[in-house]
Structure 1
């Protein structure tokens, strides 16, 4: 007797990704192996599920009807596993997480490492990259994002905190060039910029009177990586835009000085994001709870006023 679920997960993944090649990558199989699974499934069912050419694929009418039923069936199985999870104290299995580079190295990864230490049956794969990942298509269980969230019906999110940004510089640089006290005095200083999409991000700074003004700065150096900005600032190349929590760490070691604190607007929200589901796996829930508990203290509170 054949297994009625044989090939179902592969079929659903092929439909969701829209590609045999992408499905193979997510399932850690070869494209040929995925193709053979679909052929066997179609042969067992006696219908064609997917029309495929060298350039495209589309569901047949039978394929669409079967896909809809498969999704519901897998959701029920997922619910059954979640029920078992709820009675299990120990999270286990593989958890795939994506986090931004600087925030990931300094904040998210330490929390997840501690989670792995507490739960030895939990396997955590951490991707550290500033690349915007597709949570569902790339098969991540959990993603941390800094900045505004795009609306998505397929994703759920939980806020981890707020990231404020400050201006800092090395003590040696300030000794040579002086310490600016307001937005006007930033003019003429050497600046290390954060670059996104090939363009330096503007410095919209809260001035001493509480008004937000755009500083007239012309960066000599620009990085799309926050660690590069930190290294250049510590080396004395100029004033730097830095997350306040990161600047505070280097200020505590005497490598940098805070020039204007929590002065950039808008501040950035930080969220944990995961694929929306009726039932959240224990491994994912534990990781979210750990981040919610651990991240706020790392970010620190903004200065009053």
Structure 2
């Protein structure tokens, strides 16, 4: 096995070289990336060579040149088997993404009517993902059968660049990443609501000040803590510190608690909509509005040309834009 010291030159963003970069060097690196990815997936130099229409020695030279360029060992070789080293595993994921993006960029430039394909890694909030996105993705994948979707549901705010997501679905008040491209799909309304049984037992609050003494169901991820910010029409915003009898970082759990009559909740309509439609929850102080939050799609600028990202954005705009189905209640 070759021993490496610090490499003389490095790949910049996967393809670029250091000073003196030229077309031939660029093409050599691209050939090395392609050979490496094919060998990693085939777990064999011979099989990869057959699939690429090259000799085994040609493929081997390209991978060795790539390893020499990086100053690392990417593949562990034995007489019968080839496997990725830990460094090779990490580099494989990046190299595969680079080659996919390059193919997608070429396809997008050559024809906007080409069939989108490739891997689409999506991050989304848990509740929106389980209640709405999962069924939407089933329709999306039926429409685009050559796109392979990897969906990760997580309520924390992930960094799509460092964590390798093609696109991130967000429900938030403001844009917090100016380095990302953002498409706002629709405003996600939030309403005060409670069950009819709760209102029958405790009475309907007439002012937001009354909420301070009422049992309330509080979302634990709000930056404002136990304070709810509300506005009536064009009047200045009013804040009230609520009596949080239940604090939870999952709004579906708060909705269920509200249905059970445990208190007043401030919920997005994409979660409370079905219960508001059936009357299991009713709006409280409907003249007051919480600051708007927006359903948005964010992705790194280098994903902009990827056809699989562009068709997903258009699909989400058609599916959830304008007046979403969860707001259809009286």
What TM-score comes out, normalization by structure 1 length?
0.71
Distance (whole Å) between structure 1 residues aligned to residue 223 and residue 284 of structure 2 = 26
Q: Secondary structure at the match of 2:169?
A: strand
Alpha-carbon contact 1:101-1:128 (below 8 Å) kept: yes
In the alignment, does 2:260 pair up with 1:260?
no
Mean alpha-carbon deviation: is it higher for 168-177 or for 189-198? Answer: 189-198
Alpha-carbon contact 1:165-1:262 (below 8 Å) kept: no
Distance (whole Å) between structure 2 residues aligned to residue 165 and residue 225 of structure 1 = 15
Query: Post-superposition shift, 1:278?
Result: 7.6
Alpha-carbon contact 1:206-1:264 (below 8 Å) kept: yes
Alignment of 1:16-165 (within 5 A): 40-41=64-65, 44-45=68-69, 48=71, 79-84=105-110, 86-88=112-114, 90-147=115-172, 148-153=174-179, 155-165=180-190
In the alignment, does 2:207 pair up with 1:182?
yes
Which residue in 2 is equivalent to 1:170? 195
Query: Post-superposition shift, 1:273?
Result: 0.7
How big is each residue's C-alpha offset from its partner over 1:225-246, in whole Å with a ceiling of 9 and x where there is no partner?
A: 1111111111111000101343
How big is each residue's C-alpha offset from its partner over 1:118-163, in whole Å with a ceiling of 9 and x where there is no partner?
A: 222222221111121121222211111122222333x211111112
1:280 equivalent among 285, 288, 305: 305
Mean alpha-carbon deviation: is it higher for 208-217 or for 268-277? Answer: 208-217
Return closer, same or farther for 1:168/1:289 CA change in 2, 3 Å cut-off.
Answer: same
Return closer, same or farther for 1:215/1:158 CA change in 2, 3 Å cut-off.
Answer: same
1:222 equivalent among 247, 251, 254: 247
Alignment of 1:196-207 (within 5 A): 196=221, 200-207=225-232
Query: Post-superposition shift, 1:104?
Result: 2.1
> Which residues of structure 2 form unaligned runs of 5+?
1-26, 44-62, 74-97
Return closer, same or farther for 1:93/1:73 CA change in 2, 3 Å cut-off.
Answer: closer
Alpha-carbon contact 1:165-1:241 (below 8 Å) kept: yes
Query: Post-superposition shift, 1:263?
Result: 3.0
Which residue in 2 is equivalent to 1:64? none
> Which residues of structure 1 form unaligned runs of 5+?
12-26, 30-38, 51-71
Greater RCO (Cα-Cα under 8 Å, separation 6 or more) = 1
Return closer, same or farther for 1:280/1:218 CA change in 2, 3 Å cut-off.
Answer: same
Distance (whole Å) between structure 1 residues aligned to residue 35 and residue 126 of structure 2 = 32
Query: Post-superposition shift, 1:199?
Result: 7.5
Q: Secondary structure at the match of 1:277?
A: helix
Q: Secondary structure at the match of 1:161?
A: strand
Query: Post-superposition shift, 1:9?
Result: 8.0
CA RMSD in angstroms comes to 3.9
Mean alpha-carbon deviation: is it higher for 237-246 or for 105-114? Answer: 105-114
How big is each residue's C-alpha offset from its partner over 1:168-195, in whole Å with a ceiling of 9 and x where there is no partner?
A: 1111111100011221232321100011
